[in-house]
Amino acid sequence: MWTAENRVRYDRSRLRYPSDLTDEEWALIAPLIPPAKRGGNKRTVNLREIVNGLMYILSTGCQWRAIPKDLPPRSTLHDYLDLLNWNGTLDRIHHALYVECRELAEREASPTVAIIDSQSVKSAEKGGLTTRMVTMRARRSKARSGTFSSIRKAS
């Protein structure tokens, strides 16, 4: 509910972009990002700016080539997106934020009940992808079999 307290908490007018992370948000996910690999060159990018750039892309849906100039280059953002996805960091961040949101709502960390809506059940009854694929295979097999022919044999 939009109370005076919540409005202050979710106010993003002081940030450069509404998608930028606040200090509290960054404090939650910073420990989940792995350190740079040993050896080689030192990491020269600011990880918070990388995450801000990725959040900008995800929240605005902009094209990679339309990323604002004050964010890291698109090649750097894309490489970090691939890396964070490959090493499971994005999954860990999602899980940590999910648990935090549930706890703030005074719920258990993992849900105990699942609901299947009637629309899902109806589409399954009509025959989803699996049923359609089976019937398509059956039609093909009839047409290709030696016993079925649309041409009558002369006796």
pLDDT of 135 > 90? The answer is no
27: pLDDT confidence band, cut at 50, 70 and 90?
Answer: very high
Which pLDDT score is estimated for 1?
65
Residue 119 lies in a domain: no
CA dist 84 and 54 (Å) reads: 11
Residue 55 lies in a domain: yes
Which pLDDT score is estimated for 122?
58
Residue 99 lies in a domain: yes
The pair of three-digit structure tokens given for residue 99, joined into one six-digit string = 């648990």
pLDDT of 146 > 70? The answer is no
Per the structure, the complete domain to which residue 82 belongs is given by 16-104
Residue 11 lies in a domain: no
CA dist 69 and 61 (Å) reads: 16
Contacts 24+ apart (CB under 8 A), 57-62: 58/19, 59/18, 59/19, 60/19
> Which letter does DSSP use for residue 69 in this model?
T
Average pLDDT of the residues of the chain:
80
What total of structural domains would you count in the chain? 1
For 82, phi and psi rounded to 5 degrees? -60, -45
pLDDT of 131 > 60? The answer is no
Residue 79 lies in a domain: yes
59-93 per-position pLDDT tens digit? 999 999 999 999 999 999 999 999 999 999 999 99
b/e for 131-146, b at 16 or more Cβ within 10 A? eeeeeeeeeeeeeeee
